[in-house]
Amino acid sequence: MIGRLNHVAIAVPDLEAAAKTYRDTLGAKVSPPQPEPAHGVTVVFVELPNTKIELLHPLGDASPIASFLERNPSGGMHHLCFEVEDILAARDRLKAQGARVLGDGNPKIGAHGKPVLFLHPKDFVGTLIELEQV
């Protein structure tokens, strides 16, 4: 079911500082900040040869990552995003196996303009999983 690792997401307390670290200290190619109000975050992508790092910062007063940052004030690994060919088939198969699909269970359009879904971390060894249809 899951394919390539599309990105590893890191929630950060200071998006510009985190982008500067990846751009200047680590010498990586970094995108400008991209507000994603439907998801309650602003994202910056770090482009790597084999995957991406997604730097996340809360946007608005109902961000789903706000409490994560309260628990991890220096920032931390937030989720893994795997690619799938058919997100609805993947969703239905996962639900049939008892996995919890977050939100209303319907895909939303993510930062790459593709449908995404999230799976509860408690069902995946403490790791929040995002699926992105490619």
Q: Footprint of ligand LZKTLF4L on this chain (CB under 6 A)?
A: 9, 36, 39, 41, 43, 54, 56, 64-65, 67-68, 78-79, 81, 102, 110-111, 116, 118, 121, 126-128, 130
Strands (E), the chain: 5-11, 29-30, 34-36, 41-47, 52-58, 76-84, 108-109, 115-119, 128-133
Cα atoms in the 13 Å half-sphere on the side-chain side of 99: 23
Asked whether position 81 contacts Co ion by CB under 5 A, the answer is: yes
Report in angstroms how near the CB of residue 105 gets to ligand LZKTLF4L at its nearest: 12
CB 9 within 8 A of CB 77: yes
**Which lies closer to ligand LZKTLF4L via its Cβ, residue 51 or residue 68?**
68
130 is catalytic: yes
List residues near Co ion by CB under 5 A: 9, 54, 81, 130
Catalytic residues: 130
